[in-house]
Amino acid sequence: MSLAFWTMEEMDNSAGDSEFGDPYLIVRSIMAEPDYIDADNPELVRPQKIINPVKTSRNHQDLHRELLMNQKRGLSPQNKPELQKVMEKRKRDQVIKLQKEEAVHKKSDFELELEKRHQKLDDIEMEKNKIGEEQENKPEFLKVKGNLRRLHQEACEANDS
Mean pLDDT across the chain: 78
Residues contacting residue 55 through CB under 8 Å, at least 6 positions apart: 61
Residue scoring higher pLDDT (106 or 1): 106
Confidence of residue 13 (pLDDT cuts 50, 70, 90): low
